[in-house]
C-alpha cells in the first residue's frame, strides 16, 4: 500500500511538473543560501572544449558564460535558444543563411576583472573551430560549415558559413562552448584552461579538492541583473548512486542533476513525501543495437530486419519504464523535436514499430527462415552498467527469443567493452549509445552514417551519405523534414543497419526548497545555476 502511495505521489509530482513550473514562475526568487549538488562522475580537466563528461559540466559550468544557451526558463523546448553574452534575440541567418551577426553585451567582465569583448568570443570559437596544430577540440566537427569568424569591433561578432545549415545555431548553444579570455589564451596558451579557471559566469571559483568537491561563490559582477540568487554552491563528488540518493534523503545534498531510476525516485518520495519535488523529461540519449555487418549472418539485411521486428518497443516502454531510465518509443530523432517522425508514421513505415506484435514476430520468423537462419544464435556485447544497459540487454534477449533466436549476453566492464566495440570490432551484435547535449537532430543523426567515426556497424551505403549531405546543406525546415524521414527509413527499415531501442527518460527528484531550476532534455543543459534559488521558509520546514 505504501509503495502504491509513493508511486502515486511521485507520479503526481512528475505529471504536475508543468503546473509546478508555472507556479514557480509566480514565486519571487529569494537571494542567499548555498546549494549542495551531488555529482556522479569525476572531473578530467576544466577545459570544456576538449571534455565531454557531465562530471565536468555540473561543477564547472557555473563559472563560465556561453554565447547563447537553451532558455533557462524553458529548457524543455529543444528549439528555444536565448542570448547569454550576446544581447537581444539569437540572430537569424542573413545572406541566404550564411552570415550570423551577434551583438555582444557591453560591461561584462571576467572574474580576473578584465572586460569581455567580441575579441574574446572570437578567440574562443577560433580555438573550438580552427584549433592550432597539436591542440585538441572535441567539437570541431560540429562547425565544419564555418568559413570564418570575425570581430570587427568590441561588440560585434560575425560567423560566415560556407553554406546554409540547420545545425549551426544549436551547435553554438552547446554548453561546452565556454568563453575564455583572449588574454589568457595569448599569455598562457591553449592548454592553460585544462587546469585553471577564469570565466565570466554567475559564480567564481573558490576551490577544487580532487575526488571530493568543487566550491563556487556568487559573482557580484554578473551581467544578468539580480542574478545569481545563490551565495554559492558546492558540487560534491559521489560516484555511487546509492550515496547520491541517500545524500539527498539525509540532507547532505539538495539536488542531483543527472537523474535517478524510477525506484530511487519512489524511495525518496516514500521517505520524504512532499519535501521532494520530482521533475521528469524525455532524455536526448538512446541505446542502439549495432550488428557487425562484417560478421555473418549480420551482413544479411533480412536477418537484421528480423531482429528489429522481434522487438516490441511499445510493450517494452510500458514495463521497462517502471524499473529503468528508458521510456519513450521513437525513431532516430529526439522524440519531442519538430523534426522527429510522429509515432503513427513510425508504426506505419518502420519495421519493429507496429502495434501488431504477433504479426511482427511471424514476419521475423519468416525472414530468418528465408535467410536460412531459423536457429540463429549469437552473442550480444553489452556494457557492465545496470542503468539502463544490462536491463535493456536482458529485455532484448527475451524479445529475440520469441522469434526463435538464441542469444547470450557478454557483459564487460566499460574499458574492455569500448575496446571491443570501437577498436577490435570483434563482436556479433553490440549495444551502443548516442547521447548528446543540445538537441541538434541533424548533427545527432550523423551517428548512423557509415563513414561517421562513431558508427561501429562496419558497412557502406552511398545513398545514405548522399541524403545526409543534402540534409547538411539546407536550412529549410520542410526540406529537412523530408530528408530526415528518408534517412531514417533507410537506416531503420531498408538497411536496418542499426536499431533504436527506447529513448532514455530523465527523472530528477530534489529537495522541494530548490526553486528556479527546470529540467532539460539533457543532463548537460541548463547548468549555469543563475536561475536557482533556495526557498528559506520551505527549507526550515525540512528541518535543515
Q: Which residues bind other proteins (CB under 8 A)?
A: 38, 42-45, 50-54, 134, 136-142, 194-195, 209-213, 234, 236-240, 242-243, 246-247, 249-253, 271-272, 285, 413-420, 422-424, 433-437, 443, 446-447, 453-454, 542-544
**Distance in Å, CB of 92 to other proteins, minimum:** 26
Q: Is 501 left (phi over 0), alpha (psi -120 to 50) or beta?
A: alpha
Report CA torsion sign: 345, 351, 352, 355. Answer: positive
**Distance in Å, CB of 160 to other proteins, minimum:** 23
Nearer to other proteins, 379 or 476 (CB): 379
Nearer to other proteins, 139 or 227 (CB): 139
CA angle 383, 386, 387 (to 5 degrees): 105
DSSP bridge partners of 503: 286, 328
* CB-CB contact of 161 with 145 (8 Å): yes
Nearer to other proteins, 489 or 510 (CB): 510
Report CA torsion sign: 192, 196, 198, 202. Answer: positive
Closest of 119, 84, 29 to residue 223, by C-alpha: 84
What's the count of helices (H) and strands (E) in the chain, helices before strands? 18, 18
Neighbours of 251 (CB within 10 A): 15
**Distance in Å, CB of 256 to other proteins, minimum:** 12
Q: What residues contact 44, with CB distance under 8 A and at least 6 apart?
A: 51, 53, 55, 56
Side-chain-side CA neighbours of residue 360 (13 Å):
24
**Distance in Å, CB of 544 to other proteins, minimum:** 7
Nearer to other proteins, 268 or 357 (CB): 268
Nearer to other proteins, 155 or 194 (CB): 194
**Distance in Å, CB of 477 to other proteins, minimum:** 23
**Distance in Å, CB of 517 to other proteins, minimum:** 20
Closest of 338, 345, 520, 278 to residue 329, by C-alpha: 345
Q: Is 349 helix (H, G, I), strand (E, B) or coil?
A: helix
Nearer to other proteins, 234 or 508 (CB): 234
**Distance in Å, CB of 432 to other proteins, minimum:** 8
Distance from the Cα of residue 497 to its chain's centroid: 23
CA separation, residue 404 to residues 289, 315, 363, 507 (Å): 18, 19, 12, 35
Nearer to other proteins, 447 or 510 (CB): 447
H/E element holding 265? Answer: helix 262-272
Burial class (CB in 10 A: 0-12, 13-18, 19+), 4: exposed
Cis, bond preceding 228 (omega within 30 deg of 0): yes
**Distance in Å, CB of 492 to other proteins, minimum:** 19
**Distance in Å, CB of 210 to other proteins, minimum:** 5
Nearer to other proteins, 240 or 296 (CB): 240
Nearer to other proteins, 82 or 272 (CB): 272
**Distance in Å, CB of 236 to other proteins, minimum:** 5
* CB-CB contact of 50 with 190 (8 Å): no
Nearer to other proteins, 227 or 506 (CB): 506
Task: Give dist(CA 399, CA 303) in Å, integer.
Answer: 15
Three cell numbers, residue 411: 557483459
Nearer to other proteins, 52 or 394 (CB): 52
**Distance in Å, CB of 189 to other proteins, minimum:** 14
Amino acid at each position: 500500500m505504501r509503495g502504491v502511495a509513493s508511486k502515486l505521489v511521485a507520479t503526481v509530482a512528475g505529471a504536475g511538473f508543468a503546473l509546478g513550473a508555472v507556479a514557480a514562475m509566480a514565486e519571487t526568487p529569494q537571494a542567499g543560501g548555498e546549494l549542495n549538488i551531488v555529482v556522479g562522475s569525476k572531473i578530467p580537466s576544466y577545459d570544456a572544449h576538449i571534455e565531454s563528461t557531465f562530471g565536468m559540466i555540473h561543477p564547472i559550468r557555473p563559472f563560465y558564460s556561453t554565447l547563447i544557451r537553451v532558455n533557462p526558463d524553458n529548457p524543455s523546448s529543444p528549439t528555444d535558444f536565448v542570448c547569454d553574452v550576446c544581447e537581444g534575440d539569437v540572430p537569424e541567418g542573413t545572406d541566404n543563411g550564411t552570415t550570423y551577426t551577434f551583438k555582444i553585451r557591453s560591461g561584462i567582465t571576467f572574474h580576473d576583472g578584465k572586460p569581455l569583448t567580441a575579441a574574446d568570443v572570437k578567440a574562443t570559437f577560433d580555438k573550438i573551430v580552427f584549433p592550432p596544430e597539436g591542440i585538441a577540440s572535441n567539437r570541431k566537427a560540429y562547425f565544419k560549415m564555418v568559413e570564418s569568424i570575425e570581430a570587427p569591433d568590441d561588440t560585434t561578432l560575425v560567423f560566415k558559413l560556407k553554406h546554409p545549415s540547420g545545425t549551426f545555431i544549436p551547435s553554438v548553444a552547446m554548453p561546452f562552448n565556454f568563453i575564455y579570455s583572449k588574454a589568457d589564451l595569448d599569455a598562457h596558451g591553449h592548454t592553460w584552461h585544462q587546469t585553471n579557471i577564469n570565466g565570466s559566469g554567475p559564480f567564481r571559483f573558490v576551490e577544487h579538492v580532487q575526488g571530493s568537491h568543487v566550491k563556487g561563490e556568487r559573482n557580484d559582477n554578473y551581467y544578468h541583473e539580480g542574478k545569481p540568487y545563490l551565495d554559492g554552491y558546492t558540487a560534491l563528488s559521489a560516484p555511487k548512486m546509492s550515496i547520491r540518493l541517500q545524500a539527498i534523503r539525509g540532507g547532505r545534498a539538495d539536488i542531483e542533476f543527472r537523474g535517478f531510476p524510477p525506484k530511487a525516485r519512489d524511495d525518496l518520495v516514500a521517505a520524504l513525501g512532499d519535501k521532494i519535488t520530482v521533475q521528469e523529461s524525455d532524455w536526448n540519449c538512446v541505446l542502439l543495437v549495432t550488428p557487425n555487418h562484417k560478421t555473418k549472418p549480420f551482413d544479411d539485411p533480412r536477418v537484421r530486419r528480423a531482429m528489429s521486428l522481434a522487438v516490441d518497443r511499445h510493450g517494452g516502454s510500458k514495463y521497462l519504464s517502471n524499473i529503468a531510465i528508458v521510456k519513450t518509443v521513437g525513431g532516430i530523432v529526439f522524440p519531442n523535436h519538430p523534426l522527429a517522425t510522429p509515432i503513427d508514421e513510425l508504426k506505419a513505415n518502420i519495421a519493429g514499430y507496429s502495434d501488431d506484435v504477433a504479426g511482427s514476430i511471424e514476419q521475423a520468423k519468416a525472414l530468418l527462415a528465408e535467410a536460412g537462419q531459423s536457429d540463429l544464435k549469437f552473442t550480444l556485447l553489452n556494457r557492465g552498467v545496470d542503468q539502463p544497459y544490462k536491463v535493456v540487454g536482458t529485455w532484448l534477449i527475451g524479445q529475440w527469443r520469441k522469434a526463435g533466436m538464441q542469444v547470450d549476453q557478454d557483459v564487460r566492464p566499460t574499458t574492455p567493452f569500448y575496446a571491443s566495440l570501437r577498436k577490435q570490432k570483434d563482436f556479433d551484435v553490440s549495444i551502443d549509445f548516442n547521447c548528446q547535449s543540445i538537441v541538434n537532430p541533424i548533427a545527432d543523426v550523423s551517428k548512423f552514417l557509415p563513414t561517421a567515426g562513431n558508427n561501429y556497424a562496419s558497412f557502406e551505403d552511398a545513398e545514405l551519405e548522399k541524403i545526409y549531405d543534402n540534409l547538411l546543406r539546407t536550412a529549410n525546415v520542410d526540406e529537412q523534414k523530408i530528408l530526415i524521414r528518408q534517412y531514417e527509413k533507410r537506416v531503420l527499415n531498408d538497411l536496418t543497419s542499426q536499431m533504436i531501442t527506447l529513448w532514455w527518460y530523465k527523472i530528477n527528484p530534489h529537495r522541494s526548497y530548490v526553486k528556479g531550476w527546470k529540467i532539460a532534455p539533457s543532463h548537460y543543459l541548463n547548468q549555469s545555476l543563475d536561475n536557482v534559488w533556495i526557498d528559506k521558509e520551505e527549507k526550515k520546514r525540512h528541518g535543515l
